[in-house]
Amino acid sequence: MPFASFLPAALAPVLPVLLLALTALAVLLAFEAGCAPRGNAHDGELGLTTGRGAAMRLRLRELCGGPLALLLAGLGVPLLWPEPEAGVALLATATALHLLRGPAAAHAAPHSPPQQAADPKTPHISYAPVAHMRTPFTDVRGMPIQPVGAQGVAGSIDVLPEFAQGLADIEGFSHLLVIYHLHECKGFTLRVKPFLDNDEHGVFATRSPRRPNPIGISVLRLTGVTGNRLHVENVDMLDGTPVLDIKPYVPTFDVWDADRTGWFATVADNAVQCRADDRFVPADTTQPQTGGAS
C-alpha cells in the first residue's frame, strides 16, 4: 500500500516536496554538525567544540550518525516500491550520513578543516578572545614599545563573563603573562626596521608587531581583582586589544640566564624611553613582503 495513502488527501500531492525538504534538512544538519570523525583532534580547529552553540553542534553530530540515519533508512525502505524516487533519495541520504558520522568514520583519516592557510597542508587556526584590554592608549603613535617602558601605566583586563570562573586563584600571583592579538596590524613583512635599530632584521629576530601571525606577549603586574576585571600595570597595548590567553608568570619557569641577545645587546636599554610610531600600521596587505616596513 502506498505510503501516501496514510496521509490526508490534501497532503498526498505535496509528499514528494516534503520528502525532498526532509532530505535537504538532513544534509544541512550533517554539514552543520561538522564532518570530522568522532574524537578527532581537529574538533577544536573546526570550531565544533568551541564557541556559541558548541553543545548543539556536538549533539547534531551524534544525531546525524545514529538516530537520524536510521529514521531516514526506515522511511526509505517501505517507499522503495510505491514511491521509488523518494525511497532512493532517503536511503541515499541515510547512507551518506552514516558514512560521514557513523562508527566507521572514527577510524577514517581526519578530514581537513573547512578553511586552509596559504599552505594547503597547514590547517587554518582561529581563536576567539577571552578578554579585552582597557588602557589609556588609543593610538599607536607615542605608545611604549615594551612593558619596561610603561612602568606604572595602569589598565585592566576585562574577562568575558563566560570565562570568569577561570580566574579562580589568580589573585595569588603578582605578575601575569598576557597573550593577545595585535588587531591594528595588517599584513606583514619578512624583513623589518625595528623601533630600536636602523638596520633591517628578519621579522622573527625582532619584536615587530607586523608578523605572519600578529600575536603579542607582555608580562603585566597584577594589582587587584574585581569580579571578572583584572587590574594591571605596565600595560603597553592599545585600548580594546583582544586577549587570547592569560597565564601566571612564574620566574622558575619563565626566567632564563640568556648568554646571547643578538642585536638587542647594545640597544635593549633604550626601550625604556623609546616610543612607537606608525611604521608597522601601513596600508592593508595580505601578502608577505621583503621590503622594510618604514
Q: Kindly report, residue by residue over 195-253, the tens digit of the pLDDT.
A: 666 778 898 988 788 888 989 999 999 999 999 999 999 888 889 999 999 999 999 98
Distance, CA of 93 to CA of 89 (rounded, Å) = 6
Q: Is the four-CA dihedral 14, 15, 19, 22 of positive or negative sign? A: positive
pLDDT at 206: 85
Residues 137 and 264 in one domain: yes
> Percent of the chain scored above 70 by pLDDT?
43
Give a yes or no: residue 284 inside a domain.
Answer: no
Domains of the chain: total: 2
Residues 140 and 218 in one domain: yes
Q: Where in the sequence is the domain holding 136, given as residue range(s)?
A: 131-272
Q: Which of 113, 96, 112 is nearest to 104 (CA)?
A: 96
Report which residue type is found at 205. A
Separation of alpha carbons 104 and 100, rounded Å: 8
How does DSSP classify residue 194?
-
Residues 264 and 156 in one domain: yes
Asked if residue 230 belongs to a domain, the reply is yes
CATH assignment of the domain containing 164: 2.40.30.70
Question: Quick one: cell of 102?
Answer: 557513523
Position 127: which residue type? Y
Distances in whole angstroms, Cα of residue 166 to Cα of each of 25, 30, 159, 170, 246: 38, 33, 9, 9, 10
Q: Domain boundary residue among 72, 107, 142?
A: 107
Length of the chain: 294
Closest C-alpha among 178, 165, 288 to residue 233: 178
**Domain-located, residue 287:** no
121 lies in a domain? no
Say if residue 155 is in the same domain as residue 102: no
Is residue 83 located within the same domain as residue 163? no
Residues 73 and 15 in one domain: yes
Q: Which of 208, 214, 209 is nearest to 264 (CA)?
A: 208
Would you state the pLDDT for residue 181?
A: 93
Same domain, 137 and 60: no
User: In the chain, what is the greatest distance between 2 CA atoms, to the nearest angstrom?
Assistant: 90
Instruction: Check whether residue 189 and residue 267 sit in a common domain.
Output: yes
Kindly report, residue by residue over 110-167, the tens digit of the pLDDT.
Answer: 333 333 345 556 677 889 999 999 998 887 776 776 666 667 889 999 999 999 999 9
Q: What are the φ/ψ torsions at residue 192 (nearest 5 degrees)?
A: -135, 160
Q: How far apart are CA 6 and CA 83, in angstroms?
A: 13
For residues 123 and 181, what is the distance between their CA atoms, to the nearest angstrom? Answer: 19
User: Going by C-beta distance under 8 Å and a sequence separation of 6 or more, which residues neighbour residue 224?
Assistant: 171, 230, 231
Q: Which pLDDT band, with edges at 50, 70 and 90, does 106 fall under?
A: very low
How far is 145 from 271, CA to CA, in rounded Å?
A: 7
DSSP string, 23-57: HHHHHHHHHHH-SSPTT-TTHHHHTSSSSTTHHHH
Same-domain pairing of 90 and 139: no
Based on the fold, state whether residues 83 and 43 are members of the same structural domain. Answer: yes
pTM: 0.52
Among residues 169, 199, 213, 209, the alpha carbon closest in space to that of 262 is found at 199
Q: What's residue 104's pLDDT?
A: 38
| Average pLDDT of the chain, as a whole number | 69
